[in-house]
Amino acid sequence: MRAVVQRVTRADVTVDGTVVGAIDGPGLLVLVGVTHDDAPEQARKLAAKLWGLRVLDGEKSCSDVGAPLLVVSQFTLYGDARKGRRPSWTAAAPGPVAEPLVDAVVAELRALGATVATGRFGADMKVALVNDGPVTLVLDV
């Protein structure tokens, strides 16, 4: 499981012109990608890592200050563009595998006490954000 984490002051995701998820920061925008051999254990580890990641001002975590997270599924995190000019998506898990694991990350975060907004799995989403820093990290669990 892979995530790109951006520290934001606000972020939202729209589908067909309607906002389906939004946070006002400070907080984290988290793009989550799933590969074929990921399992619920990776979802649990990623959620714990995100909740405790000390990247907010003053080296604080979302758990320290109650900061919200916006979690958006992103299969393209497993795109491979090493050959040619057209990326391959074969390393990305198919929707029936990936969707429950992205949902598990969200459920685990909420169980830890996080306020979590989400995108809509499989939809053509428009993500808008205001970076804080900017701070962008790639996490593999």
Residues designated as active site: 74-76
Cis peptide before 87 (omega within 30 of 0): no
For 110, residues 6+ apart whose C-beta sits below 8 A from its C-beta are: 116
For 50, residues 6+ apart whose C-beta sits below 8 A from its C-beta are: 3, 5, 28, 30, 62, 69, 105, 109, 139
